[in-house]
């Protein structure tokens, strides 16, 4: 199950967190992986650690808001690994402010990374994904990182929720468009609960602020109490779901959202 032998993946925002865990699990599953991020030093270290003595992972600088940088990164991935089967649109920002506190500049930044980044990645990786899909039994795959905040309202960040709701429906719309056009490129989204990453820490700070306290541990406990399964998520919990969606085991899935949230949105 969940093997990616012979496949090539590009993962945005994979210097750390969920993206880095996904890169590691994809290499363990037999894929070659290119990591794109703006954190160059961290990204290079992550790629080196994952690759070890092999050539299975590489780092490429990529700001997902730049069309030129996407074009360069996709071309470099194809030149290095011979094609592209999987795109994971993972790079994302969390703001953690209410509507009244957020500025227009902050909204534009959030929008540029969480929405424009996903649009550009999809558009500019599509030719390489289509090309590879012609030779592969089950085609190519895109996995978009949405969130539980793209399914239900967010207590903490209405603007983040606005962007992730967009990712949820862009996923379904592109799945339909590519199927209609016969491209053989599946598109699915994944919806994590609260995951222990730098972004997860940011949500605890924002939750503490909402409670009018500096007690981040109390905010963390409150977040945990919302997850019926009794713990917060780990990057590997989400990475396993992404590997599944990217693999041929999910060959009959497109336009779907995989919820990996410890029961948070089942309530």
Ligand X SMILES: NC(=O)c1ccc[n+]([C@@H]2O[C@H](COP(=O)([O-])OP(=O)(O)OC[C@H]3O[C@@H](n4cnc5c(N)ncnc54)[C@H](O)[C@@H]3O)[C@@H](O)[C@H]2O)c1
Q: Which stretch binds ligand X (CB under 6 A): 91-99, 129-137, 176-184, 243-251?
A: 91-99
How far apart, in whole angstroms, are the C-alpha atoms of residue 24 and residue 21?
5
Integer CA distances (angstroms), 31 to 21, 71, 109, 125, in order: 14, 21, 32, 17
Residues 243-262 that bind ligand X (CB under 6 A): none
Question: What φ, ψ does residue 177 adopt, rounded to 5°?
Answer: -60, -45
Considering only CA atoms, which of 6, 44, 1, 41 is closest in space to residue 27? 6
Catalytic residue, candidates 10, 70, 81, 160: 160
Question: Taking CB under 6 A as the rule, does residue 34 contact ligand X?
Answer: no
Question: Taking CB under 6 A as the rule, does residue 194 contact ligand X?
Answer: yes
Binding pattern to ligand X, positions 164-183, x when CB under 6 A?
--------------------
Question: Taking CB under 6 A as the rule, does residue 2 contact ligand X?
Answer: no
Question: Taking CB under 6 A as the rule, does residue 15 contact ligand X?
Answer: yes
Q: Is 160 a catalytic residue?
A: yes
Q: In terms of CB distance, is 85 or 157 closer to ligand X? A: 157
* E strands, the chain, in order: 8-12, 32-37, 57-61, 86-89, 140-145, 185-192, 257-260
Question: Taking CB under 6 A as the rule, does residue 62 contact ligand X?
Answer: yes
Question: Taking CB under 6 A as the rule, does residue 121 contact ligand X?
Answer: no
Length of the chain: 267
How far apart, in whole angstroms, are the C-alpha atoms of residue 91 and residue 94?
11
Residues 134-163 that bind ligand X (CB under 6 A): 145, 147
Contacts of 43 (CB under 8 A, 6+ apart): 14, 15, 35, 36, 37, 59, 61
- For the annotated catalytic residues, the residue numbers are 160
Which positions touch ligand X (CB under 6 A)?
A: 12-13, 15-19, 37-39, 62-65, 90-93, 113, 145, 147, 192, 194-195, 197-200, 203
């Amino acid at each position: 199950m969940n093997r990616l032998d012979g496949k090539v993946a590009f993962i945005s925002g994979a210097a750390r967190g969920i993206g880095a865990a996904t890169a590691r699990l994809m290499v363990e599953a037999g894929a070659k992986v290119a990591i794109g991020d703006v954190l160059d030093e961290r990204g290079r270290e992550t790629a080196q650690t994952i690759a070890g003595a092999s050539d299975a992972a590489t780092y490429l600088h990529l700001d997902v808001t730049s069309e030129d940088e996407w074009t360069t990164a996709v071309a470099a991935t194809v030149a290095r690994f011979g094609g592209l089967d999987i795109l994971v649109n993972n790079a994302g920002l969390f703001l953690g402010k209410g509507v009244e506190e957020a500025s227009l500049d902050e909204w534009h930044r959030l929008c540029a990374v969480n929405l424009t980044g996903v649009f550009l990645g999809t558009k500019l990786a599509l030719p390489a994904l289509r090309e590879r899909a012609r030779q592969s039994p089950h085609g190519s795959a895109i996995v978009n990182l949405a969130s539980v905040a793209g399914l239900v309202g967010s207590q903490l960040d209405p603007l983040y929720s606005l962007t992730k709701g967009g990712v949820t429906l862009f996923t379904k719309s592109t799945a339909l468009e590519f199927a209609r056009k016969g491209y053989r490129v599946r598109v699915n989204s994944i919806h994590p609960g609260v995951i222990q990453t730098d972004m997860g820490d940011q949500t605890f700070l924002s939750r503490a602020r909402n409670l009018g306290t500096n007690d981040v541990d109390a905010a963390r406990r409150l977040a945990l109490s919302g997850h019926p399964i009794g713990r917060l998520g780990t990057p590997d919990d989400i990475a396993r779901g992404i590997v599944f969606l990217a693999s041929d085991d999910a060959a009959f899935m497109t336009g779907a959202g995989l919820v990996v949230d410890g029961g948070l949105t089942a309530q």
